[in-house]
Structure 1
Amino acid sequence: MKDRADDNQPSLEGHFLIAMPGMEDERFARSVIYICAHSPKGAMGFIINKAQEISFGALLTQLGIVADEDEIRLPAKGREVSVCMGGPVERGRGFVLHSDDYDSESTVAVTDRVSLTPTLDILKAISAGIGPTTAIMALGYAGWGEGQLEAEIAANGWLTCEADFGVMFAPELDDKYSRALALLGVDPAFLNSEVGHA
């Protein structure tokens, strides 16, 4: 990312936000957030490392997409679809972040490799084995108003780095925080040891 003047901040679309250990908002403690939209008007992203209590198969059954979990014809990679707590806003709404090998009228490309589809069509496609190779589902999202995210970053609430495809879609959600920090060469143990020190 090139350094620019404060009034012309580069976009963080396609980047990770990694919560610092001193994060005061419990909803975002130890969170890794994938930023999908960022402009002077605000930002939107999804927590990708906190699991929902429902499995992807159970969710498809609950939504009536399949009558029984055994009917889901997922490819091997599709069986690893995680259902994440995407954020505190509109928690009843589902969004699918996925590889760019699936496209529909409602699909939005975030980067060259990652797309976002917020409709049931992609869930039906995944259940039929014709969806994207890699995907995670988020229920709800995280949003920031004008200047809010920039202020939180300036106050050392978040670290940022370019998103890593492997970390983003890894099935082991609990490992994503340390793996995201490792992208920056940061050891979480060192960060934790600094909490509370003046």
Structure 2
Amino acid sequence: MAFSAIMDKKERGFLDGQFLIAMPNLKDGNFVRSVVYICAHSPAGAMGFIINRAQPVSFTELLLHLKMVDQSEAIMLPGATRDFPILSGGPVETGRGFVLHSDDYSSESSIPVSDDISLTATLDIVRAIYDGRGPRRATMMLGYAGWGAGQLEAEIGANAWLNCPASEELIFDRSLDAKYDRALALLGVRPEMLSTDAGHA
């Protein structure tokens, strides 16, 4: 499902603003032990971002690639800018950048995802972060996770995912390795408690 088609929807789906937490039987290499923040869910499909998968590209390399800075300017970037996190958001459109951020930043292209979190997918926010005018909390993803109509519901029915309300703290936390266990803890679940067998009452 195309990003624009999903984000253009007006109604909110029941998974909007939820975390999806991969079950052990989910063997797709893109999603093993992943935590996905769902930004949009409707009968047409769903889209979101993996929030615990590192991306080898640094923010400095991104600025150089976009020709926003040259090599001499890159060396002078403050540490907070150099260390700005870039994650691997999912297997769809991996060359495209998206910034999830607190709602204290807004541009014409910013889309509210929840009461406190927005999504901006234009270069304006990259410039703002570089200039020190960016949002208080933000993380950038390259690519996103997308599902077609009924696909995600079928995966949940097959016991591939758990879901729970998202935590803003966890979305923006930079300790990626701990996010999976911490997301499970939101449900009161420990990894060793998970069964790979689907149970239906």
Q: What TM-score comes out, normalization by structure 2 length?
A: 0.86
Matched, 1:155 2:154: no
User: 1:57 pairs with 27, 47, 60, which one?
Assistant: 60
RMSD: 2.0
Shift of 1:189: 2.6
User: 1:123 pairs with 122, 126, 141, which one?
Assistant: 126
Q: Can you list the C-alpha shifts for 1:133-192, whole angstroms capped at 9, x where unaligned?
A: 11111101111111110110111100001100111100111111111111011111322x
Letter of the 2:107 partner, please give it.
S
Name 1:69's counterpart in structure 2.
74
Contact 2:13 2:40 in 1 (8 A): no
User: 1:89 pairs with 78, 89, 92, which one?
Assistant: 92
Q: Can you list the C-alpha shifts for 1:111-130, whole angstroms capped at 9, x where unaligned?
A: 01110000011000000000
Letter of the 1:119 partner, please give it.
T
Name 1:133's counterpart in structure 2.
136
Question: Could you say if the C-alpha distance between residues 27 and 47 of structure 1 is closer, same or farther in structure 2, counting changes exceeding 3 Å?
Answer: same
Shift of 1:25: 0.9
Identity score, percent: 58
Shift of 1:196: 7.6
Contact 2:158 2:198 in 1 (8 A): no
Question: Could you say if the C-alpha distance between residues 124 and 73 of structure 1 is closer, same or farther in structure 2, counting changes exceeding 3 Å?
Answer: farther
Letter of the 1:28 partner, please give it.
F
The unaligned stretches of length 5 or more in structure 2 are: 1-11
Shift of 1:100: 0.6
Name 1:6's counterpart in structure 2.
none
The unaligned stretches of length 5 or more in structure 1 are: 1-8
Matched, 1:104 2:107: yes
Contact 1:73 1:127 in 2 (8 A): no
Q: Can you list the C-alpha shifts for 1:68-102, whole angstroms capped at 9, x where unaligned?
A: 3344457x5x6653211111111100000011110
Letter of the 2:123 partner, please give it.
L
Contact 1:107 1:117 in 2 (8 A): yes
Question: Could you say if the C-alpha distance between residues 101 and 79 of structure 1 is closer, same or farther in structure 2, counting changes exceeding 3 Å?
Answer: farther
Q: Give the 3-state SS of the residue equivalent to 1:133 in structure 2.
A: coil
Name 1:172's counterpart in structure 2.
175
Question: Could you say if the C-alpha distance between residues 159 and 80 of structure 1 is closer, same or farther in structure 2, counting changes exceeding 3 Å?
Answer: farther
Question: Could you say if the C-alpha distance between residues 197 and 159 of structure 1 is closer, same or farther in structure 2, counting changes exceeding 3 Å?
Answer: closer
Shift of 1:58: 2.1
Contact 1:95 1:116 in 2 (8 A): yes
Displaced runs of 4 or more, over 6 A: none
Shift of 1:57: 2.3
Matched, 1:40 2:63: no
Name 2:116's counterpart in structure 1.
113
Count of paired positions: 186
Letter of the 2:155 partner, please give it.
E
